[in-house]
Amino acid sequence: MVFRSSYGPAYDECCAAGTNSSSIRAAIDAAWATDPTLDRSGIVVRILGPIVILEGYLSAREHRDIAVRIAAAVAGTSRVQDRMLYRYSAQ
């Protein structure tokens, strides 16, 4: 039994252009590095087919918007899923 799936034209176009999960992950990380206000140490980027999943813990609430905005600029708005959590510190 062979499982085949089609993710649609947007995914096919990016893969035809030579984009793979490693290059998307590296591009997002490089873009995040350009923003000195973003603490990305607790964020993990996972690629599942055409979807970019952002997971992990944030040290500040405003980091969510920054991380998602930058990842969407690299991978496309409809391809980014935010699963990050804000860890409240009582200090």
For domain 9-86, the CATH architecture is 2-Layer Sandwich (3.30)
What integer pLDDT is reported at residue 90 of this predicted model?
66
Phi, psi (rounded to 5 degrees) for 28:
-65, -45
Tens digit of each residue's pLDDT (9 = 90 or more) over 5-52: 344 444 445 444 556 888 999 999 999 999 999 999 999 999 998 899
What integer pLDDT is reported at residue 21 of this predicted model?
86
Does residue 2 register a pLDDT over 80? no
Q: Which amino acid is at 39?
A: D
Does residue 40 contact residue 68 with C-beta atoms inside 8 Å? no
What integer pLDDT is reported at residue 9 of this predicted model?
46
What residue segments make up the domains of the chain, in order of their start?
A: 9-86
Tens digit of each residue's pLDDT (9 = 90 or more) over 42-76: 999 999 988 999 999 998 989 999 999 999 999 99
